[in-house]
Amino acid sequence: MSDIRETNVLVDVKDLKKHFVKSKDIWGRTTGVLKAVDGVSFQIRRGETFGLVGESGSGKSTVGRCLLRLYDYTAGEVLFDGQPISTLGEKQLKPFRRRIQSIFQDPYSSLNPGMNVLELIGEPMNIHGMLPGVEREDAIAALLDRVGLKREHLYRYPHEFSGGQRQRISIARALAVRPEFVVCDEPISALDVSVQAQVVNMLEDLQSEFGLTYLFIAHDLSMVRHISDRIGVMYKGRLVEVADSDELYDNPLHPYTQALLSAIPVPDPRATAERIVWSGDDHPAWDSVPLREVSPGHYAAIAE
């Protein structure tokens, strides 16, 4: 089973670290460092959705940006399809960026307000030399139809759409260059609750249709369970637990994971769910306890 997993790995993150300089002295020497990501390791297999959860500031989005090479990381290694991405030069980055795309949290700030939909989705296709004029327009119109928009929207601008429609445009733009891997960085948190489920269901349909692999970063734990095959839980820049989705929710091992799951709202006013408060002081060495396998495929930081 482990051999099958190894050969099917698309993204392999090994002891990834990303530290930011917080302060320097008058001689320019670093005096303070923020360890946004501090030794994270996990794998994402082809065709699966790996969910990454944790509170604000836990390092989830920083991990995603490192995988996109938007950040140069401090230490560690990220292999994409067996190739280390930190060694990619400018010429090698272009084909790499075609294979890995992103969907960000706020669709309005990630879309150029001065470009219409045809230009927004056509820009990455133009950069990668995909399809001439008329064929490109037809391909973009087909993408719009696939994400629930119409050809008549091609010449409209971002401000003319709702938040959900703008996110659909962002998804169409990400798929325009036919990627293999998509980093979804909280793609539904800025949307109305009524739209969130629609977007998640659409992402699942697109994954099946285009053979996509997702890193799904989110706060909404119930939605993460719905879309993810496996889930990693981050706390203070480190992974504290990784398991199959159902296993993690049914049998959380780390106290921080238990506290997160206890915060999920219960849609029943008569229910009396017990809220677990995580102070971070339950064990003085939680930050340094390494992950270990406690059952097949379930890894957690468990202090002895």
Q: Which domain holds residue 245?
A: 2-301
Number of domains the chain is built from: 1
Query: Nearest 5°: CA angle at 104, between 187 and 94?
Result: 135
Q: What are phi and psi of 122, to 5 degrees?
A: -75, -20
Indicate if the pLDDT at residue 5 is higher than 50.
Answer: no
Q: Supply the pLDDT for residue 263.
A: 78
Give residue 209's pLDDT band: very low, low, confident or very high (50, 70, 90).
Answer: very high
Contact 303, 290 (CB under 8 A): no
Contact 26, 63 (CB under 8 A): no
Average pLDDT over residues 140-147: 94
Average pLDDT over residues 250-254: 91
Q: What's the start-to-end Cα distance of the chain, in Å? A: 28
Residue given tokens 């119930």 in the structure block: 222
Residue given tokens 């927004």 in the structure block: 120
Q: Supply the pLDDT for residue 287.
A: 61
Q: What is the DSSP string of 126-141?
A: HHTT-S-HHHHHHHHH
Least confident window among 34-43, 123-132, 289-298: 289-298
Helix (H) or strand (E) holding 204: helix 193-210
Q: What is the CATH number of the domain that holds 10?
A: 3.40.50.300
Would the pTM count as exceeding 0.85? yes
Least confident window among 4-18, 42-56, 75-89, 211-225: 4-18
